[in-house]
Amino acid sequence: MKLIFTPPSLEDIIRLLKAWRFWVLGAIVGALIGTAAYYIVPPPYRAKATVNVDFNLEEALPKDTDRQHFYYLERESRKMEELAWSDEIISQLSSQFAITNDELRGSVLQLSQPAEAGWHFYADNSNAQTAEEIATVWANAFVEKIQSEIKAGNINKFIKLEVTQSKGLLKERSIPLSGYILSGALGFLTLAVFVLLFVKPKTESNVS
């Protein structure tokens, strides 16, 4: 037990650097383990629907300063983001796809909104077609909700929205194979460092 908490000596560092063959073998073994994990327990598919958001700054605030434009974008973007995650929309998805609200918010849905331009609605699912359907329904429900809020006067009337990608969406694994390979290699090498630095051979222990 004392060996584990003993700081590595210069000899330990030299031994670590000399073990280059072990590093190469460890990287290969770790990469193979990561590859096997990817195919045995693959990550879910991820689909992305896109909604183009145009705030029409020139029409909404024709005489205001850049600072006022910034606050306008920040305020309206925050309201729209809250609506994207609102109980009304999430409950609609939950009922349609039999997924709980907590699961949708916690692990299935992701939203990327750069204020103006394309807002991306991501959905993860073990079935590629289901992932596409969830992303599409979420994006369309968002646009419908925002348009109703614009009519009600709760969102600036100059904001224009359009679903630009909702059919034939690109569906990829949420984590690429390269991520598994890299994680496997780094994980094995980290373990190797622990073994080489803190677990000394019995011959060395007996001599000391």
- In this prediction, residues 91-113 reach a mean pLDDT of 95
In the chain, % helix, strand, coil (3-state, to 5) comes to: 60, 15, 25
Q: Is the pLDDT of residue 6 over 70?
A: no
At residue 191, the pLDDT reads: 78
- In this prediction, residues 62-74 reach a mean pLDDT of 71
The pLDDT tens digits for 153-169 are 998 888 889 999 888 88
* Structural domains of the chain, ranges and CATH numbers in brackets: 2-41+177-207 (no CATH), 45-173 (3.30.1890)
Lowest mean pLDDT segment, chosen from 61-65, 155-159, 171-175? 61-65
pTM (two decimals): 0.76
Which residues, 6 or more positions from 200, have their beta carbon under 8 angstroms from its beta carbon?
Answer: 3, 12, 208
Determine the distance from the C-alpha atom of residue 117 to the mean position of all C-alpha atoms in its chain, rounded to a whole number. Answer: 20
Angstrom distance (rounded) from CA 102 to CA 147: 26
Lowest mean pLDDT segment, chosen from 15-24, 82-91, 127-136, 151-160? 15-24
110 sits in which H/E element: strand 109-112
At residue 145, the pLDDT reads: 96
At residue 25, the pLDDT reads: 81
Percent of the chain with pLDDT over 70: 79
At residue 208, the pLDDT reads: 46
Residue type, 22: F
Average pLDDT, the chain: 83
How is residue 14 annotated by DSSP? H
DSSP-assigned letters across all residues of 131-199: HHHHHHHHHHHHHHHHHHHHHTTSS-TT-EEEEEE-SS--EEESS-HHHHHHHHHHHHHHHHHHHHHHS
